[in-house]
Chains A and B, each alone.
Chain A
Amino acid sequence: MDATVLDRSIPELAGLVTRGEVSAEEVTKASLDRITRRDGALGAFLTVQAEEALSAARAVDQKRARGEALGPLAGVPIGIKDALCTRDAPTTAGSRILLRPASKGEATLDPRRGFRPPYDATVVARLREADAVLVGKTNLDEFAMGSSNENSAFFPTKNPWDPSRIPGGSSGGSAVAVAAGLALGALGSDTGGSIRQPAALTGTVGIKPTYGRVSRYGLIAFASSLDQVGPFAADVRSAARLLGVIAGRDPHDQTSLGAPVAAYEEACGRDVRGMRIGVPEEYFAKGLEPAVEKSVREALAGLASLGCELRPVRLPHTRYAVATYYVLATAEASSNLARYDGVRFGARAEGAESLGALYAKTRGEGFGREVARRIVLGTYVLSSGYYDAYYLRAQRVRTLIRRDFEEVFREVDVIAAPVSPTVAFPLGERVDDPLAMYLADIYTLPASLAGVPALSVPCAPTPATNSVPSLPVGLQLVGPPLEEARLCALAAAWEGISPARGLRPKVSEA
């Protein structure tokens, strides 16, 4: 089997499988084989469900043999962020606290002993219904808290463009699974940038849909007013197809929206002439690396060459987004993570003599440093005496940030900006400086707080120097609520003329 079938787009590959030009089983074997040869050095997957994937692939092939119509993801290998529940398959959220206790002789830290959910997340069920093949669960920062994937309790994921660098986070494993050609698509979750930032740093396309566009049922909750599931793929059309499959109302998630799902993939061919693009000056301020700025400015010029009209706009509350986010997200997290207590599932500390001690010991041992930090910060901002000063104030500032976007979207159709102020940074560079890590999210947090859709599409990578190789840069496109199709149209038009088009990292094989 020629592994280059994995370098096709999702619509192409699903077409090949649907027409019987390649079997889903062959594609799945190619994907599993690449994971075996490439992922040892990258760490994109926490667990691989080889048997289940092969049997799902055979079921797709049999369905075709019986003459039944196949779904839009027929035979497409997909990675699933390990914050999403997969029925009976290990689900860890990147945390020790979701590991079943080890028996004698078992390794203490093995993601294969992860919690086995009794149900599929709605997005996972929808992928299966669309005849996708789920190959494994991808690595992440513990409970999706982080911007580098270094907070995984198991191992850090490496960037395939330069394995001494981080891939971004928290959905870093999903981004790398796609960037390294291990799977054609992946699902991630984005609370403050966790899809867009790793997409930018790995040269993939990642979409954070409008809050409520995609069901959160079965997504392990971090900050419920911000969490959103979205796709990764190597190109815009592929990501658009995935989004079309997972989007839509779900009776299991009261916040999921009933608005009709737009034709995202069809939008990818749409003419973008005359589109008004807002360029917010606050996103080109101090802290933006010159090489990143140059690449993004070139992309803006590219949009102008497509007939779009560029307009300077102001989002004056941008500078408060990091502070606002780290109050609200930690408050919600401290509440959501209260459920991990060593009683009903996951890990349990040994030797506790009272129920209170059991909770505290299990949680103290089970959560990593960043998660504990956020739980304590969240507990503080919600505590009486500080609630008004921090939590309520941050909620009011969130309103100001939303209004910034509402104002700007009266004048422009889309906002274009950088995703991350820097390229992928070296592993270990920021692990001891949480604030520096949080500031990496400055350009992605505002759209999360406003609940509006945003995506990252590659623009020109930075030029290689003597010490640093060429690294990917993302262009962020932000739209009004439910305008994912508009973002797909613009991203696809840009992709058609982007110098990053078709660029793939050279991944070494074992």
Chain B
Amino acid sequence: MSPAPEGPATLAEDEVRSLARLANLDLPDAEIRRLTGDLGRILAYVRQLEELDVTGIEPTAHVELGFGAEGAAGRPGAPSVEPTRVELRADEPHESLPHEIALREAPRTSMDGFAVPGFVEED
């Protein structure tokens, strides 16, 4: 079972800065400060989830109708329409997006590809 979070009730500015870095967000210091306050208040609110005992409760990642014991079909008050099982698409080759269309919206292209700054250290 998941223990109660051991983190502080509020976040420190440095933590927010490193979260922003993890999320690839370059934010000015004033925004980091503001965000620190906002997230602290939101997390303090979110922590009310700790009141609940969720031992043995299966997580719902995604509501899938007609699957497993949680499915609505066959229950009293269940839908009159029987949900059908999600089926996989046939594994068939399709035409892919034409090269020039795929590149059409790129801010910068080079040699028939997306252009980006060099990411290999060069001397």
Beta-carbon contact of A376 and B57 below 8 Å: no
Contact A389 B16 (CB under 8 A): no
A346 touches B77 (CB 8 A): no
Contact: B63 with A254, CB < 8 Å?
no
B38 at the interface (CB under 8 A from A): yes
Is B49 among interface residues, defined by CB-CB distance under 8 A? yes
Query: What bracket does the count of chain A residues touching chain B fall in?
Result: 35 or more
CA distance A225 to B38 in the complex (A): 25
- Establish whether residues A395 and B81, one from each chain, have CB atoms under 8 Å apart when the complex forms: no
B14 adjacent to chain A (CB < 8 Å): no
List 5 tightest A-B contacts by C-beta distance, closest first.
Answer: A451-B63, A395-B59, A389-B5, A364-B26, A348-B107
Contact B25 A367 (CB under 8 A): yes
For the complex formed, measure the closest distance between the CB of A59 and the CB atoms of chain B, giving whole angstroms.
24
Given contact pairs A254-B89, A262-B81, A399 touches B58 in the complex (Cβ within 8 A): yes
Total interface residues on B, CB under 8 Å, equals 73
Q: Which of A127-135, A199-207, A350-358, A465-473 contacts B (4 or more CB under 8 A)?
A: A350-358
Q: How far is the CB of A409 from chain B (nearest CB, A)?
A: 4
B75: chain A residues at CB < 8 Å are 406, 410
> In the complex, are the beta carbons of A380 and B19 less than 8 A apart?
yes
Nearest neighbor of B97 in chain A, beta-carbon distance: A118
Instruction: Identify the closest chain A residue to B65 (Cβ).
Output: A481
Cα distance A380–B35 in the bound complex, in angstroms: 12
Contact with B along A421-449 (1 / 0, CB 8 A): 00000000000001100100000000001
Interface residues as binary, B14-26 with A (CB distance below 8 Å gives 1, 0 otherwise): 0010011111111
Partner of B105, one of A115, A352, A358: A115
The reply to whether A398 and B25 contact each other, CB–CB distance below 8 Å, is no
Q: Is the CB of B61 within 8 A of A395?
A: yes
Contact indicator A399/B52 (Cβ below 8 Å): no
Pairwise interchain contact A225-B46, C-beta atoms closer than 8 A: no
Q: Pick the contact of A390 from B46, B65, B84 — CB < 8 Å? A: B46
Q: Provide the residues of chain A in CB contact with B42, threshold 8 Å.
A: 326, 377, 434-435, 438
The reply to whether A344 and B81 contact each other, CB–CB distance below 8 Å, is no
Residues of A with C-beta under 8 A to B64: 255
Q: A359–B24 contact, CB under 8 A?
A: yes
Is A451 in contact with B65, judged by CB distance below 8 angstroms?
Answer: yes
A-B contact count (CB 8 A): 221
Could you tell me if A369 and B31 are in contact, using CB atoms closer than 8 angstroms? yes
- Whether B7 is near chain A, meaning CB under 8 Å from some CB there, is yes
Within 8 A of A (CB), among B85-123: 85-89, 97, 101-102, 104-108, 114, 116-119
Q: Smallest CB-CB separation from B1: which chain A residue? A: A388
Closest to A118 in B: B101
Report the minimum CB–CB distance from B8 to chain A (whole Å): 11
Q: Which residue of A lies closest to B80 (CB)?
A: A483
Instruction: Say yes or no: A390-B5 contact (C-beta < 8 A), given A354-B117, A451-B63.
Output: yes
Taken together as a complex, chains A and B put the C-alpha atoms of A361 and B34 apart, in Å, by 19
Mark contacts of A335-370 with chain B using CB atoms, 8 A cut-off: 1 yes-contact digit, 0 otherwise: 000100111111110001111111111011101010
User: Which residues from A are CB-within-8-Å of B5?
Assistant: 386, 389-390
Partner of A372, one of B4, B35, B87: B35
Q: How far is A438 from B46 in the complex, measured between Cα atoms in Å?
A: 12
Q: Note all chain B residues with C-beta closer than 8 A to A327.
A: 46, 49
B76 interface hit (Cβ, 8 Å): yes
Q: Given the interface contacts A434-B42, A482-B65, does A394 sit within 8 Å of B26 by beta carbon?
A: no
Q: What would 10 A/B residue contacts be, using CB atoms closer than 8 Å?
A: A101-B107, A210-B65, A254-B88, A323-B45, A344-B102, A354-B118, A360-B25, A367-B25, A434-B42, A483-B80
CB of B27 within 8 Å of the partner chain: yes
Residue numbers in A under 8 Å from B108 (CB-CB): 348
B residues near A338, Cβ cutoff 8 Å: 24
Whether A145 is near chain B, meaning CB under 8 Å from some CB there, is no
The answer to whether A483 and B23 touch across the interface, beta carbons within 8 angstroms, is no
Chain B neighbourhood of A344, CB < 8 A = 102, 105-106, 114
Query: A402 contacts which of B52, B70, B106 (Cβ < 8 Å)?
Result: B70
Instruction: Return chain A residues, CB-CB under 8 Å to B101.
Output: 118
Name the CB-closest residue of B to A224: B62
